[in-house]
Chain A
């Protein structure tokens, strides 16, 4: 990557900042003009100002936060159950040949099944209650964490493990001080994949059958042609996804502080 010369003053930096926002802001302005002039039907796409107004209104009467809280709760429950199982299985398969032989080929086969394909079965099993949604999220999030944890443990430098043996580390110490920290970068990559799948699964699950949550809010709004609420729901999903990603980044920067590539500002310093 080419190294750009450092900016000589704040003015140039501000200009660059403005330039990077010019395109999205321009689109918003054009969109607003198109809506107001009637070129763009509000039944198809609401004006940005209408979305902002809907945001303010739903925030004021509390519906947005209630739905967002319920969605987040479902997402986290599913992640903790599914991700936890995936992580634990990944570790066991990583350190034990027996567990690997028993589980790995089955896991590799199952991970290729699109988990949303089992929605009809899930509805038969659990009805349309909370369990169905949490189950779907759990299934979706288990695989990325399993695969990346397993891979992370298997790619640990064997020379470090040999060193640890020479220096008298027992099995437990070897796990806590060498294997787990060594696998952590890969585990966190898995966590980020899982978080993406978590929101995706939840959106689908909530639009099919729910009486609360952001997905329900948007589906409900569709029936009343409230396109502003639908767009708002999409934006909220985007924000929640971004929030989850930011939290993982912070965890990475803290837990992987030893790793030159993960240090905060490291990427920025390297690219600017």
Chain B
């Protein structure tokens, strides 16, 4: 545990230096990134969807979906609104039951809510009557104050522990929500367009933060988004959902950490995805 943590610090410092960087430092960073990619810890669990269908009344939202998400992968699911992406996420979380088909996380079938699966909603959904720290440690497990404070520090909000959620900005509230999801060390993290309501700059910050934390923790991540650029910037693999099925399944092999100002290869990938959406 101490090894990745010190690595993280090193990387953070390196990225700080990068701001006014000379070439040598840049090389250090590149090297660190490559090392990191090889050593990336995989604490996540694989998620398996088997012939998954979901209907609301007569309307069939998902039909016969098969999907395998390897442990530790960051998968982005893209699609138009109403294509069933949120439904899919709620099924994986165990919030809703599928009409037919099966979901398994780490080989066990999902029958109800899972303690090792955490969902980040579109809105932060903080309890306004608990302070930030109390929101992060909402499950009140033993020693929650320490773990919650550590998770807050991870998202860079250690100094806001005693504030009320009402005084936080949208981006800060989502970071608190992210800390709340991280507290229990989930093996699968589901994100339901959590950055959709944020302004462009804050969204980029959140991307950096999510990528950084994901690389440190190594959980399996499913990110729902309608922003193709976001999907290409973050994901290992992008899936396009259309008419209840998978229209495109594409790996993204760009080096990490990725820059938001997209290079030509990223633009080409975005164009391919947009064709399918």
Q: Does A119 contact B (CB under 8 A)?
A: no
Contacts of A169 in B (CB 8 A): 138-139
Contact of A166 among B118, B123, B130, B166 (CB under 8 A): B118
* Cβ–Cβ contact B125 & A259, under 8 A: no
* Cβ–Cβ contact B115 & A168, under 8 A: yes
Interface SS, A side: helix
Contact-residue size bin, chain B (C-beta under 8 Å from the other chain): 20 to 34
Contacts of A38 in B (CB 8 A): none
Measured between C-beta atoms, what is the minimum distance from A178 to chain B in Å?
6
Measured between C-beta atoms, what is the minimum distance from B144 to chain A in Å?
12
Q: A164-B138, A166-B93, A259-B166 are in contact. Are A181 and B119 (CB under 8 A)?
A: no
Q: Does B180 contact A (CB under 8 A)?
A: yes
Q: Does A242 contact B (CB under 8 A)?
A: no
Q: Does A165 contact B (CB under 8 A)?
A: yes
Measured between C-beta atoms, what is the minimum distance from B136 to chain A in Å?
10
Please measure, in the bound complex, the distance between the C-alpha atom of A259 and the C-alpha atom of B165, giving whole angstroms.
10
Please measure, in the bound complex, the distance between the C-alpha atom of A260 and the C-alpha atom of B129, giving whole angstroms.
11
Q: Does A254 contact B (CB under 8 A)?
A: no
Within residues 240 to 260 of chain A, which ones have a CB less than 8 A from any CB in chain B? 256-260
> Which of A13-21, A92-100, A155-163 is found at the contact surface with chain B?
A155-163
Contacts of A258 in B (CB 8 A): 128-131, 164-166
Q: Does B65 contact A (CB under 8 A)?
A: no
Question: Nearest A residue to B122 by beta-carbon distance?
Answer: A159
Contacts of B119 in A (CB 8 A): 166
Contacts of B127 in A (CB 8 A): 160, 164, 177-178, 181
Per the CB 8 Å criterion, the residue count for chain A at the interface is: 21
Contacts of A166 in B (CB 8 A): 93, 95, 113, 118-119
Contacts of A182 in B (CB 8 A): 129
Measured between C-beta atoms, what is the minimum distance from B217 to chain A in Å?
17
* Cβ–Cβ contact A259 & B138, under 8 A: no
* Cβ–Cβ contact B129 & A181, under 8 A: yes
The number of residue pairs between A and B whose CB atoms lie closer than 8 Å in the complex comes to 54
Contacts of A259 in B (CB 8 A): 128-129, 166
Within residues 128 to 175 of chain B, which ones have a CB less than 8 A from any CB in chain A? 128-131, 138-140, 164-166
Measured between C-beta atoms, what is the minimum distance from A269 to chain B in Å?
14
Contacts of B164 in A (CB 8 A): 257-258
Please measure, in the bound complex, the distance between the C-alpha atom of A165 and the C-alpha atom of B35, giving whole angstroms.
39
Please measure, in the bound complex, the distance between the C-alpha atom of A257 and the C-alpha atom of B128, giving whole angstroms.
10
Q: Does A173 contact B (CB under 8 A)?
A: yes
Q: A159-B125, A258-B128, A258-B166 are in contact. Are A167 and B139 (CB under 8 A)?
A: yes
Question: Nearest B residue to A259 by beta-carbon distance?
Answer: B128
* Cβ–Cβ contact A168 & B113, under 8 A: yes
Scoring A residues 191 to 230 as 1 if CB is less than 8 Å from chain B, else 0, what string do you get?
Answer: 0000000000000000000000000000000000000000
Measured between C-beta atoms, what is the minimum distance from A251 to chain B in Å?
14
Question: Nearest B residue to A182 by beta-carbon distance?
Answer: B129
Question: Nearest A residue to B134 by beta-carbon distance?
Answer: A177
Question: Nearest B residue to A256 by beta-carbon distance?
Answer: B129
Contacts of B93 in A (CB 8 A): 166
Q: A168-B139, A169-B138, A258-B166 are in contact. Are A163 and B121 (CB under 8 A)?
A: yes
Contacts of B139 in A (CB 8 A): 167-169, 173
Contacts of B113 in A (CB 8 A): 165-166, 168
Please measure, in the bound complex, the distance between the C-alpha atom of A167 and the C-alpha atom of B183, giving whole angstroms.
10
* Cβ–Cβ contact B138 & A167, under 8 A: yes
* Cβ–Cβ contact A167 & B118, under 8 A: yes
* Cβ–Cβ contact A163 & B115, under 8 A: no
Question: Nearest B residue to A261 by beta-carbon distance?
Answer: B166
Contacts of A160 in B (CB 8 A): 125, 127
Contacts of B180 in A (CB 8 A): 167
Measured between C-beta atoms, what is the minimum distance from A57 to chain B in Å?
49
Question: Nearest B residue to A161 by beta-carbon distance?
Answer: B125
Please measure, in the bound complex, the distance between the C-alpha atom of A169 and the C-alpha atom of B141, giving whole angstroms.
10
A-B contact pairs, 27 of them (CB 8 A): A160-B125, A160-B127, A162-B95, A166-B93, A166-B95, A166-B118, A167-B138, A167-B139, A167-B180, A167-B184, A169-B138, A169-B139, A173-B140, A177-B127, A177-B138, A178-B127, A181-B127, A181-B130, A184-B129, A258-B128, A258-B129, A258-B130, A258-B131, A258-B164, A259-B128, A259-B129, A259-B166
The 8 closest A-B pairs by CB, nearest first: A181-B129, A163-B125, A258-B129, A258-B164, A166-B119, A260-B166, A168-B139, A258-B128
Chain A residues within 8 Å of B, Cβ to Cβ: 159-160, 162-169, 173, 177-178, 181-182, 184, 256-260
